[in-house]
Structure 1
Amino acid sequence: LDCPNGELTKKKFIQVYRQFFPNGQAEAFCTHIFRTFDADNSGKIDFKEFLMAINITAKGNPEKKLKWAFKMYDIDSNGSIDRQEMLRIIESIYDLLGATAAQNAPNGAITNRDPNDTPESRTAQIFAVMDEDNNGVITEEEFIRGCMADRVLYQMLTADTSDPER
């Protein structure tokens, strides 16, 4: 990783992600991650922002990780996640992992993915669990409670493989 001035541009950030996910499309997901890392909205991630984000995502307690993840899902920063925001992030995750490419595989191709597992169906499942008051948006509190109550959701929405403390 070559950042002689101590700042990481979005372009360089995407290049790094592509190395880890060569079979997927990294751009959309990286845009969301980059926005969340770039705390001062400068268009670059400086060393301090990078360390803070890595510290939270790698070593933070489950609630801190979830607050950080919520910021990523809350694309317009209005304090809640609507269905469109959730769908955009879920689609970008599927693209990153190459999941949507599996959907478009030729007939008879062997894939490990359930054809009913779409970003739209996943978004609907998440809202069914998390939107406690059925008002069409997920608040930070609903997001945290929903993830803490469901290990699979926690791991999927935070990209974490550890078990959240209960």
Structure 2
Amino acid sequence: MGNKQPKKTISNELTEDQVGVLKSNTKFTDNEIREWHESFMRDCPTGRIDKKRFVEFYKQFYPNGKVDNYCKHAFRPFDTDNNGTIDFQEFLLAIATKTQGDLDHRLIFAFNMYDMSKDGLINQKGLITLISAIYDLVGETDRKGDRDPKKIAADIIAKLDSNGDNKLSKVEFIAGCKNNPNIRALLAPNI
């Protein structure tokens, strides 16, 4: 009834074409790609990670943190086709970007998480939301004075916003993170 489309089924098999695409877009070897795939399929037998499963993975790494809010935003750069799930190719390409990419590519990945409206800009409200989510993730409870997410977001905008529009473009974000290690440590801590 209606216009419901059947969900696209995912093959659990890794084809040579898929390996070729992943090899040409990452620095992983054939064997590494196959090992990643085997591990991915063991953890995600459906061949996809949904938001609930994504949260479960983060809970393993941050057992004392509140991961839900952070994961809501961290999921977005992985789900490049915006279908609400992460398939193996999306997963491995994101991992490669975060671990093998040059600094600019890794900062673009981080920018995409902060760009909640997907308009190519980060506003102060978005910064406050993500800084608060990072605090929740790591169990940071001291949010007074210089630790206040509102103050931190306002300071970051003031320091990095070169054109005075009270927003950060991708260029401003990347340049600011590259030129200010303290800001990079806060906004992109794993880079």
Same fold flag (TM > 0.5): yes
Report the Cα offset of residue 69 of structure 1.
0.8
1:64 maps onto 2:110 in alignment = no
Per the alignment, residue 50 of structure 1 pairs with 91
Per the alignment, residue 73 of structure 1 pairs with 114
Once residues 82 and 43 of structure 2 are traced to their aligned partners in structure 1, the CA distance between those partners, rounded to angstroms, is 21
Per the alignment, residue 4 of structure 1 pairs with 45
* Paired-residue identity, %: 38
For structure 1, the 5+ residue unaligned runs are 104-113, 162-166
Per the alignment, residue 77 of structure 2 pairs with 36
The residue type equivalent to 1:122 in the other structure is I
Once residues 180 and 93 of structure 2 are traced to their aligned partners in structure 1, the CA distance between those partners, rounded to angstroms, is 26
Contact 1:18 1:26 in 2 (8 A): yes
Per the alignment, residue 18 of structure 1 pairs with 59
Contact 2:122 2:169 in 1 (8 A): yes
Report the Cα offset of residue 156 of structure 1.
2.2
SS of the residue 1:52 aligns to: helix
Per the alignment, residue 27 of structure 1 pairs with 68
Contact 2:65 2:136 in 1 (8 A): yes
1:143 maps onto 2:184 in alignment = no
Report the Cα offset of residue 115 of structure 1.
5.2
1:92 maps onto 2:133 in alignment = yes
1:133 maps onto 2:163 in alignment = yes
Deviations 1:45-91 (A, max 9, x none): 00000001100111110000111111110001011111111111111
Which protein, 1 or 2, shows the higher relative CO under an 8 Å CA cutoff with sep ≥ 6? 1
Contact 1:154 1:160 in 2 (8 A): no
- Bigger-Rg structure (1/2): 2
CA shift in 2, pair 1:137/1:115, >3 Å: closer
Once residues 152 and 19 of structure 1 are traced to their aligned partners in structure 2, the CA distance between those partners, rounded to angstroms, is 27
The residue type equivalent to 2:90 in the other structure is E
Report the Cα offset of residue 134 of structure 1.
2.0
Length-normalised TM-score, structure 1: 0.85
Length-normalised TM-score, structure 2: 0.74
Count residues in correspondence.
150
Deviates more, 1:50-59 or 1:1-10: 1-10
Contact 2:158 2:166 in 1 (8 A): no
SS of the residue 1:143 aligns to: helix
Runs of 4+ deviating beyond 2 Å:
none
1:160 maps onto 2:190 in alignment = yes
For structure 2, the 5+ residue unaligned runs are 1-41
Once residues 141 and 2 of structure 1 are traced to their aligned partners in structure 2, the CA distance between those partners, rounded to angstroms, is 37
